[in-house]
């Protein structure tokens, strides 16, 4: 009887373990959050937000109360409450430990502009994991900086580059592949006489023309 009881207990334990494993292996259903889940957002407010182009939490979370209020025709207090809720749901603006921030900063690389004064001004170059805006009047050289950074991205990290490919968003139809080749030849003359080195950068660029950004600026995301 003792043996039978032991076997029964063992079987029960195995069945329980199997059930626990099944529960662990079962994926939790993905929770979809819509703007209607935000505090103070009913059907009428949701319609106003969507008509103004705000159909995602992130788009709302990065707005200021005055801007959202104006564009969606809402009261500023209501807009402020909606933005706070969007930030919380999108996990934006929360607290982060100093250790986690330090680990994140260790992954940041610097892209050299190959102009010492610019690199010094930026503390070593353009940081990755960031959005950088170069602002200035027409003809001040913004597009040239964008072209030069596109070339520099292809350089090895040891030479101030990122050893990577480039995604270039051209909002004013000012991208010139021949200018990229000229700049690459200038760098190649100091590194190697290979003609392949001067055409490599332009072949790694993925270009898209978009009117999404209307400011007269060149922005690069790394």
Per-residue pLDDT of the chain (222 residues; tens, 9 = 90+): 444 444 444 444 445 445 545 544 444 445 577 888 888 888 999 999 999 998 888 889 888 999 999 999 999 999 999 999 888 887 776 677 889 889 989 999 999 999 999 999 999 999 998 888 888 999 899 999 999 999 999 889 998 999 888 888 888 888 898 998 899 888 877 665 444 445 556 666 777 765 444 333 333 433
Complete DSSP assignment for the chain: -HHHHHHHHHHHHHHHHHHHHHHHHSPPPPPP--GGGSTT--HHHHHHHHHTT--SHHHHHTS-HHHHHHHHT--HHHHHHHHHHHHHHTT-S----HHHHHHHHHT--EE--S-HHHHHHTTSSEESSSEEEEE-STTSSHHHHHHHHHHHTTS-GGGTS-S--EEEEESSS---HHHHHHHHHHHHHHH---HHHHHHHHHTEEEEE-SS--SSEEEEE-
pLDDT for 19-34, tens place per residue? 545 544 444 445 577 8
pTM of the model: 0.53
Domains and CATH numbers, the chain: 1-94 (1.10.150.20), 108-221 (3.40.50.300)
């Amino acid at each position: 009887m003792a043996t039978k009881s032991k076997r029964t207990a063992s079987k029960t334990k195995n069945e329980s373990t199997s059930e626990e494993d099944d529960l662990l292996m079962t994926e939790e259903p993905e929770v979809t959050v819509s703007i209607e889940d935000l505090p103070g957002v009913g059907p009428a407010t949701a319609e106003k937000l969507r008509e103004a182009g705000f159909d995602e939490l992130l788009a709302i979370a990065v707005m200021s109360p005055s801007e959202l209020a104006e564009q969606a025709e809402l009261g500023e207090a209501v807009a402020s409450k909606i933005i706070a809720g969007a930030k919380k749901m999108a996990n934006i603006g929360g607290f982060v430990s100093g250790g986690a921030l330090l680990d994140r900063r260790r992954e940041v690389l610097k892209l050299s502009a190959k102009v010492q004064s610019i690199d010094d001004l930026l503390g070593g170059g353009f940081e990755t994991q960031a959005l950088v805006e170069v602002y200035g009047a027409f003809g001040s050289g913004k597009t040239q900086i964008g072209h030069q950074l596109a070339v520099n991205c292809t350089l090895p990290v040891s030479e101030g580059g990122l050893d990577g490919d480039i995604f270039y968003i051209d909002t004013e139809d000012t991208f010139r592949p021949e200018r990229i080749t000229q700049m690459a030849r200038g760098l190649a003359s100091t590194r190697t006489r290979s003609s392949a080195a001067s055409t490599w950068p332009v072949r790694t660029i993925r270009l898209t023309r978009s009117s999404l950004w209307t400011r007269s600026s060149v922005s690069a995301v790394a």
